[in-house]
Structure 1
Amino acid sequence: MTIRHLKVFLAVAETGKMSAAADQLFIAQPSVSQAIADIEKYYNVRLFERLSRKLYITPAGERLLDYARHIVALFDEMELEMKYSTEHTTLKIGGTVTVGTTILSELVSRFEAENPPVTLTVLVDNTPVIESMILKSDLDLGLVEGEVSSEDLIQIPAVEDEMVLICGTGHPFAGRKTISLDELQGQYFVIREKGSRARSFFEKILDRESVEIVEKWTCTNTEAIKNAVMDGQGLAVLSKRLVERDFEQGRLCILSIQGIRLLRSFTLIYHKNKFLSPPLKAFVQACEEYKD
């Protein structure tokens, strides 16, 4: 059993075809078939079933998959560390849309300025995508909104984030500082897409308080949400960091909800089996110590 065997197995698991795995790895298809046969013989298990000209991973294959991903990722990390640690290190960081729009750029710039041998590459997407990529070792660490579901991820609340209710200057609520939850009943809302932690955070509060709103717009883009609110399309709940400048410029209004504080955390996540190299530990510390 070698790292090469595991890399071949991962390629077959990801593509679902021996031929596609061979193309991905730039090797002959018989070499792929032989590597899979070697693993199956070594562990006395069947890793794939062939149905309708496509390969489907078996329960035994699923068990191997998680180990293989992390063994290969750790091996690749070791290779980079041993070959290039004296020259340069690259960390792959993921952030959600709100994190990416508010604090991530400043956080990354500060960190790179204080740690010249380290470069951070950044992906901005929603929480489920970031979570999935960390589980597959495609990202080293994520900074997301709220909590994640996988028990294989370490979660560290890092940066406090307050969300606020906003409306346009022509809305009936404009000019007020506080409204009650009951006044939200039946109101039009411009809201984030399903899967967004900002959306699920607010929906949990509405469900708990038995408040029903009308979802008029669904947006993945925070600027589109703000523009729709400014144009009178409805209310929205966004991170205060995203709307403070617009509020100061008189383009929209910020409202408090009586008896409710919309407070949450941006959460650091990484795989429980992840080796925390010194640069990665330094970035975790930078996140925990971040102040606006």
Structure 2
Amino acid sequence: MSRSDNLLPRQLGDAHIRLLRIYKAVIESGGFSSAEVILNISRPAISQAISELESLLQMRLCNRGRSGFSITEEGEAVYQATLQLLSSLETFRAQINAINTDLRGELNIGITDNMVSMPRMRITRSLAALKQRGPEIVINIRMIPPNAIETAVLDGQLQIGVVPELRTLPGLNYFPLYEERSELYCSDTHPLFGRYDSEISEQDLASAEAVLPAYPQAAEIRQQQAGLKASASSTDREGIAFLILSGEYIGFLPTHFAERWVRDGKLRAIQPGQRYFHTQFMAITRKGARTNLVLEAYLEELINTERAG
């Protein structure tokens, strides 16, 4: 590609920042396919964005093709510069928010899917309390996979996230929120539905087609799923419910999420005394982030909901 002294315009707009965010996600996920889940956009759209960024910068950022995905030396330098830029943007936002002593601004929060039916509504109760303290606060919620939430909190797109406890990243603070129980379910049209638990053998479960999550799982969860016949997957728990309700698959669902269908006789738990696991959900924030009064107020309200029980 040809070079020039001024590759970028004098003013970087939202469109340029968007391209850099897409590029960052591609590099951190190791390719276009993996970035689809994080970004929630199609692979062709990601490819077009990277090509547009390469054209703008007049350099090859990454290699892709039959030989696989890899970052170029120039691409690594651009990635590091992108991290600095996005961090500076978040610092600016935090500094401006700190000026607002009347709790004005935005709360950007990312939440793992299908938690709204949790019996202890700490998230909704704390959001209500925050809104009462700052009526002008704008609350933005994104329902995205846990790894995408971690990435967005780290680069400042989100101020706080709610994710299952799978790993501990050095750049994040963790606050315990919920413990969630999941059990193994089948629908009323599945062959196992009408059988007593005592009649269902290990071989019956091993031969039944199962839907498994297409996202990282804790060791306890993987152990429970190890003996199942994985023949379908889903990127979220609503997708798992769809497949179980089809009558063709068994799979694990949170008990609070499955309760509506159990109550209506559409689902039943299989051997709930044996086939279950617990997931701890955590609130996460970025370490070292500048003072943000809106975020601090929300964290205070989350702590208050724990005390209230």
TM surpasses 0.5:
yes
1:140 aligns with 2:159: yes
Q: Which residue of 2 aligns with 1:195?
A: 215
Residue 115 of structure 1 pairs with residue 133 of structure 2: yes
Q: Distance in 1 between matches of 2:177 and 2:84?
A: 28
Question: Bigger CA drift: 111-120 or 62-71?
Answer: 62-71
- Is 2:96 the partner of 1:79? yes
Write the letter of the residue equivalent to 2:7. Answer: M
- Aligned residues of 1:189 and 1:214 also touching (Cα < 8 A): yes
Return 5+ residue gaps in structure 1 as ranges.
1-16, 28-48
Matched, 1:69 2:74: no
Q: 2:8, 2:95 → 1: CA distance?
A: 29
- Identify the residue that residue 58 of structure 2 maps to in structure 1: 53
Instruction: Give the aligned partner of residue 278 of structure 2.
Output: 263
> In the alignment, does 2:176 pair up with 1:157?
yes
CA distance in 2 between partners of 1:67 and 1:195 (Å): 28
Please state if 1:18 is matched with 2:7.
Answer: yes
Q: Which amino acid letter does the alignment assign opposite residue 169 of structure 2?
A: S
| Unaligned stretches of 5+ residues in structure 2 | 1-5, 17-53, 62-73
Percent sequence identity is: 17
Deviations 1:49-86 (A, max 9, x none): 99x9326557676666545533431222212331x432
Please tell me the residue identity of whatever aligns with 2:209: Y
Q: Residue 169 of structure 2: SS of its match in structure 1?
A: coil
Cα gap change, 1:59 to 1:225, in 2 (>3 Å)? closer
Match of 1:159, SS state, is strand
Q: CA 1:152–1:261 in 2, change beyond 3 Å: closer, same or farther?
A: same
Alignment RMSD, CA only? 3.8
| Change beyond 3 A, Cα 1:21–1:94 | farther
Equivalent in the alignment of 1:14: none
Greater strand content: 1
How many residues in Structure 1 have an aligned counterpart in Structure 2? Answer: 248
Contact 1:96–1:144 under 8 Å retained in 2: yes
Q: Normalization by structure 1: what TM-score?
A: 0.68
Matched, 1:106 2:127: no
- What is the rounded CA distance, in whole Å, between the counterparts of 2:301 and 2:144 in structure 1? 21
Q: Distance in 1 between matches of 2:76 and 2:210?
A: 44
TM-fit CA distance, 1:205:
3.4
With normalisation by structure 2, the TM-score equals: 0.65
Identify the match of residue 108 of structure 2 among 76, 85, 92. 92
In the TM superposition, what is the alpha-carbon distance from 1:141 to its structure 2 partner? 0.7
Q: 1:254 to 1:105 in 2, by over 3 A?
A: same
CA distance in 2, matches of 1:73, 1:173: 52
Q: Which amino acid aligns with 2:86?
A: R
1:107-256 counterparts in 2 under 5 A?
107=125, 109-117=127-135, 118-148=137-167, 150-174=169-193, 176=196, 183-192=204-213, 194-195=214-215, 197=217, 202-207=221-226, 211=227, 213-256=228-271
- CA 263–182 in structure 1, closer or farther in 2 if over 3 Å, else same: farther
Provide the rounded CA distance (Å) in 1 between the counterparts of 2:140 and 2:96.
19
Letter of the 2:245 partner, please give it. Answer: M
- Could you give the per-residue CA deviations for residues 114-171 of structure 1, whole angstroms, max 9, x where no partner exists? 4334332111110111111111111101001222453211222211111111111233
Q: Look up the SS of the partner of 1:97 in the other structure.
A: coil
